Amino acid sequence: MACRISELVLDCADAERLAAFWSEVLGYVELGREADGSIEIGPPDTGFGGPQPTLVLSPSSDPRTGKLPLHIDVNATDRDQDAELERLLALGARPADVGQTGTENWHVLADPEGNVFCLLHARLQHP
């Protein structure tokens, strides 16, 4: 028997803002809220426990931002990489420099709080 990732938790200053951003990026919906202000988002049809992990945005008075030891990679599902890049930038993402050479086939971006994530080149099928 093995484990699988069921949820990813991201400490943040503004859980509402990041929940809205990541919901738009991933096509997720709000699944629930905790008394501490945490907001869990996930796939609309399966929610927690489905094949994709949920994302918990957890308010913190001292969230770390920038290039974290663990970051999120995303792939477009219904458009090419260039069109998805435009969409992510319109949602509030911004280009980030983590020392890439410029020859990569992915884009390094930061979410509205500065957390780095990557938009990869491959187009994946929507689950």
Domains and CATH numbers, the chain: 1-63 (3.10.180.10), 64-127 (3.10.180.10)
| Bridge pairing between strands 7-12 and 54-59 | parallel
Element (H, E) at 36: none
What is the pLDDT at residue 127?
58
* pLDDT exceeds cutoff 90 at 70: no
* pLDDT, the chain, mean: 90
What is the pLDDT at residue 64?
80
Q: pLDDT: is 2 or 24 the higher one?
A: 24
Mean pLDDT over 27-54 rounds to: 91
Phi, psi of 104 (to 5 degrees): -70, 155
Q: What is the pTM of this model?
A: 0.86
- Residues near 94 by Cβ (< 8 Å), separated by ≥ 6? 109, 110
- d(Cα 7, Cα 1) in Å, to the nearest integer? 19
Structure tokens at 57: 């945005």
